[in-house]
Structure 1
Amino acid sequence: MTIAGSLANALSGLTASSRAAELVSSNVANAMTEGYGRRELQLQARNMGDGRPAGVNVTGVRREVDMVIVQSRRLADASASHGATIADFRSRMEAALGTPDDPNSLSGRIAGFEASLIEAASRPDSIARLETAVRGARSIAEHLDHVSRDVQAARMDADAAIDAQVRSLNDGLTQVQNLNYKIKEAVARGQDPSALMDQRQMAIDTLSPIVPLRQVEREHGMVALFTTGGAILLDGRAAELSFDPVGVIVPEMTLGSGALSGLEINGHAVRTDGERSPIKGGSLAALFQVRDELAPQAQAQLDAVARDMVERFQDPGLDATRAAGDAGLFTDGGHAFSPADETGLASRIAVNDAVLAESGGAAWRMRDGLGAPAPGEVGNAALLHDMKAALDAPRIAASGGFSGVARSSAGLAADFVSSVSAARTTAEAQQSHAVAQQDSLSFMEMQAGVDTDHELQKLMLIEQSYAANAKVIATVDAMLDALMEL
């Protein structure tokens, strides 16, 4: 090998070693950076025109990422986000209703009302006990109204969150589209696009909890994004998702009636529920499920409990002082209840004004009858006993999807509260499973990333290579000095 050839080999080796040291430094510095892909230097032997070796060429930088693990982790992100959204709603409903052992829960308030009727029946002459019974009835009505309002607030929160997530998806898809173009340009110019690919991976990662995504490689380093349900979100140009939020939601408003907005992709309406939904599996689908399925179902069951309570005391045989068609102790906004107008009853249920002092009524009508014009015999507890019997009477709930088993008023409320608690437990168990899977895949992704021990071992080899090439250059320099001295 000639002196010039040795010098060329050594110089190319120094260049490669220097570039390799930079990559090792970058890898170690970003070992814990999310979205960072480990860099590997790509080298190629360089030959003279006659085939003699002339060192190495740095042909590029390869970004090492295990996309199988990344894609699986993204799906786990979507599953965990979906589970968290459902579990949060279930917990919210349980907190609003109260647990079975809570005296302020729905079943606890009914039990308290029943106890107040028993106490009033034991001393029907006591206005204080009659007023306590009235307060017990109001406590039930106010609690049903409070829970109903919370159900609709959950729907409004879900509607607002859907709008925010649709905006995030549109912004994120546009960002990924722009990064795609920059990566294509960098590849065309022969530049290293790894940093841009890191940014793109992080941008896609922020979208994956919203909808489960599949990434498909395209030419020139670009990628396409599809949902697991088959919707095209990005393939060249980003799709545009549209959604129209509403300010206020009441029980009567549904997606089917057109009062609430659905989701559109590029102007085409898509399903937001069921297994055939193109967005199934992420937090966006879960929010639609809360708004359009879970919350309306909770409202329907709540209305069924309210209806059961109203009808028990609206029975014509319970109070002979009431005229036919008059409301009972519990009313639908002050009027008699009609089964054709059940939706939202829990938000309208109220205690009859006839027993409310602030509305011109009097508590003694709990004893003497809602239609009584004047107080009757103070020792007559027959109506109070009948009210207690009406609460305990086994009835089959006429609506709400409850099983066709006859229950007392307290039994129906207890079953409702228990079913909400059971649904919360199930949702949290599913969420825990999804989070455990997400954590495992995140750990696997980190393991497949930068191994700092391995990088430091590589750095030692790079230092040795650098020193060897520097030694060759020093030797060539000494040889040239010796030749000059001849």
Structure 2
Amino acid sequence: MSITGALSNALSGLTASGKAAQVVSSNLANAMTEGFARRELSLSAQNFGAASGVRVNGVMRVVDEQVVADRRLADADSGHAERVLDFYTRLEELTGLPGEDGSLSDRVAAFQSGLITAASRPDSHDRLRAAADRAVEMVNTFQQMSAGIQDLRQQADRDIGAMVDRVNTLLGQVQDLNQRVTGALNTGGDPAALLDERQKVIDALSSFIPIRQVPRDRGAVALFSTGGSILLDGTAATLGFQRTNVIEPHMTVGGGHLSGLTVNGVPVRTDSDSGPLRGGALAAAFEIRDEHSIAAQSQLDAVARDLIERFQSPSVDPSLGIGDAGLFTDGGVAFDPVNETGLAGRLALNAAVDPAAGGEVWRLRDGILAASPGDSGNGALLQNMVNVMDLRRVPTSGDYGGGNQTLGTLVGSHLSGIGSSRLTAEREQSFAAARLDSLTAMQLEDGVDSDEEMQKLLLIEQAYSANAKMIQTIDEMIQTLLRLGA
């Protein structure tokens, strides 16, 4: 090897070592930076005539795109599962557990106990009043549960609005970063930091919507939902949504009362089966507002209907005629079967019995429409009310199967159904979280390992010292040759 060749090797080695040290120091400095992808120096042999040595090809970002893509989908699944679990957890808190103080089953049992106590002493005003009070407490529980379900729908609607705004902002940021990455490549710059930032933004976006990333020319990317909606391909899509100030049980998207979702002004489906944006936190909020909450309200209304129908029969209270409102009413009037939606929120104790509405508790004993008090020792009507609560009948509505149920077992079925849904949501959330943790760990394996980087730094230092020693030796050789020539 000539002196020129040796010098070329040593100089290129110094350059490569310096660049390698810069890359390692950058990795160590950003070891805890969110979204930072580890850098590696790309080197190759260089041999052009007399010039030889090592060539620096550039700095590469170490990213396993398939792991990143899978982790983003897992992030979307986890966000979806967490919201659904939160809904059923809060719904279970509203209804309470079977036998728990203040739960619906506890209120029903307390009301029946009050009737039994009153039937044992029908002449006791205090016992009749206590039974009426337990009825009011039970009615209030139905109303509070119904209001709580609508609050959950209202919160979901607000969440949708906030998420749509956030998604639009993030899509705009990805579009801007695409342009900046392309500009950096066109001018020969290093887009690595911009790529880190773009990955971070897309990661944030993926928690709301399951996303597939597709490469485009000059470093740009396109984004598609897994359901097939184009979110960004050159230009970012714009999602549209209108918040609703007050949501009531009868209000639905299909009925035109609630806002759906648009993409670039075009309405898209938001149901869990075929919505193009299904699967992430945004879809979960739509499901909570338009599916889970509506189903929960429908089940609760079915229990309220069963309660009303049991006590409005003339066979229970002979003072009633067909079509008369019984002990429990739909907002003070007889229940109309075509208007069941939201019934639990309108459930009320008949004003003729409710002392707070000017009623008389003796009508529990003598009949809702009794004109005057009857035999104070006659507890037959009170016993009829106790018996009708234990009567096994098929619920007129609701998804409770086709079996005969007492009022108590129907309420128990309602509570256990919510508990079962919560457990199912909990299992799905645990699976989604475990999958996300696993893929996150896989992605972190490509991240910065400070021990490995320090080992690289030692090797770089040795290589730098060796090349510097080579240059020093070559200098001494040249100086010797010059002295000999003189």
Distance in 2 between residues matched to 1:239 and 1:133, nearest whole Å: 60
Task: Give the gaps of 5 or more residues in structure 2.
Answer: none
Preserved contact between residue 45 and residue 53 of structure 1 (Cα < 8 Å): no
SS at match of 2:73: helix
Residue 187 of structure 1 aligns with which residue?
185
* Match of residue 43 from structure 1: 43
- Matched position secondary structure for 1:59: strand
Task: Spell out, residue by residue over 1:284-312, the C-alpha distance to the aligned partner (whole angstroms, 9 max, x if none).
Answer: 11111111111101111111111111111
What corresponds to 1:470 in structure 2?
A: 468
Aligned partner letter, 2:264: N
Per-residue CA distance 1:213-232 (angstroms, 9 max, x = gap): 11111221111111111111
- Secondary structure in 2 aligned to 1:354? coil
Post-superposition offset of 1:366: 1.1
TM superposition shift of 1:352: 1.0
Shift in Å at residue 44 of structure 1?
Answer: 4.0
Indicate the SS of the match to 1:247: coil
User: What code does the residue aligned with 2:425 have?
Assistant: A
Equivalent residue, structure 2, for 1:386: 384
Deviation at 1:282, TM superposition (A): 0.8
Q: CA deviation at 1:43?
A: 2.7
Distance, in Å, in 1 between the alignment partners of 2:445 and 2:43 is: 25
Separation of aligned partners in 2, 1:6 and 1:275: 69
| Residue 196 of structure 1: aligned partner | 194
User: Aligned partners of 1:188, 1:67: CA distance in 2, in Å?
Assistant: 23
| Partner residue, 2:168 | 170
> Which residue of structure 1 lines up, in the alignment, with residue 216 of structure 2?
218
Report matched runs for 1:202-241 at 5 Å: 202-241=200-239
Mark the runs of 5 or more structure 1 residues left unpaired by the alignment: none
Alignment of 1:294-309 (within 5 A): 294-309=292-307
Query: 2: CA distance between counterparts of 1:365 and 1:469?
Result: 106
Q: Does 1:369 align with 2:367?
A: yes
Which of 153, 156, 166 is the aligned partner of 2:154?
156
How far off its partner does 1:481 sit?
4.5
Determine if contact 1:145/1:346 at 8 Å carries over to the other structure. yes
The amino acid across from 2:394 in the alignment is I
> 1:55: Cα distance to partner?
3.4
Identity of aligned residues (%): 51
**Within 2, Cα distance between the matches of 1:405 and 1:159?**
36
* Alpha-carbon offset, residue 316 of structure 1: 2.3
- Show the 5 A alignment for 1:69-80: 69-80=67-78
| Counterpart mapping for 1:50-69 below 5 A | 51-69=49-67
Check conservation: 1:44, 1:59, Cα contact below 8 A.
yes
Q: What is the CA-CA distance between 1:239 and the residue it aligns to?
A: 1.0
Could you say which residue in structure 1 is the equivalent of 2:448? 450
Partners of 2:271 and 2:341 in 1: CA distance = 22
**Residue aligning to 1:128:** 126
The SS at the match of 2:361 is: coil
The CA distance in 1 between the partners of 2:126 and 2:439, in whole Å, is 64
User: Per the alignment, in what secondary structure is the counterpart of residue 352 of structure 2?
Assistant: helix
SS at match of 1:353: coil
Normalising by structure 2, we get a TM-score of 0.96
Provide the residue aligned with 2:415 in structure 1: 417
Structure 1 residue 462 displacement after superposition = 0.8
Where do residues 224-303 of structure 1 align in structure 2 (5 Å cutoff)? 224-303=222-301
CA distance in 2, matches of 1:413, 1:324: 26
Matched, 1:428 2:418: no
Query: Which residue does the alignment assign to 2:435?
Result: 437
Q: What is the CA deviation profile of residues 19-68 of structure 1, one whole-angstrom value per residue up to 9, with x for unaligned ones?
A: 111111122233343322111112344444xx123433323211110111
Q: 2:97 aligns with which of 94, 99, 109?
A: 99
> Does residue 1:26 correspond to 2:26, yes or no?
yes
CA contact (8 A) 1:60 1:192 kept: no
d(CA) in 1 for partners of 2:322, 2:279: 53
Report the Cα distance in structure 2 between the residues aligned to 1:267 and 1:416, rounded to whole angstroms.
Answer: 41
Q: Which amino acid aligns with 2:149?
A: V
Distance 2:119 2:311 in 1: 17
What is the deviation of 1:5? 4.7
Paired with 1:147 and 1:191, the residues of 2 have a C-alpha distance of 60
> Cα distance, 1:390 vs. partner?
1.5
> Is residue 340 of structure 1 aligned with residue 338 of structure 2?
yes
Q: Distance in 2 between matches of 1:324 and 1:453?
A: 84
Q: In 2, distance between residues paired with 1:416 and 1:324?
A: 29
Count of residues paired in the alignment: 484
Instruction: Name the stretch that deviates more: 324-333 or 380-389.
Output: 324-333
The residue type paired with residue 196 of structure 2 is: D
Q: Deviations over 1:144-194 (max 9, x none)?
A: 110101111111111111111111111111111111111111111111111
SS in 1 for 2:332: coil
Amino acid at match of 2:244: V
Contact 2:311-2:328 within 8 A present in 1 as well: yes
RMSD between superposed Cα atoms in Å: 1.7
Partner amino acid, structure 1, of 2:38: R
| Structure 1 residue 126: Cα displacement | 1.2
* CA offset digits 1:88-109 (Å, max 9, x no partner): 1111111101111313211121
Equivalent pair of 1:323/1:371 in contact (CA under 8 Å): no
The separation in 2 between residues aligned to 1:4 and 1:339, in whole angstroms, is: 100
**2:141 maps to 1:143:** yes
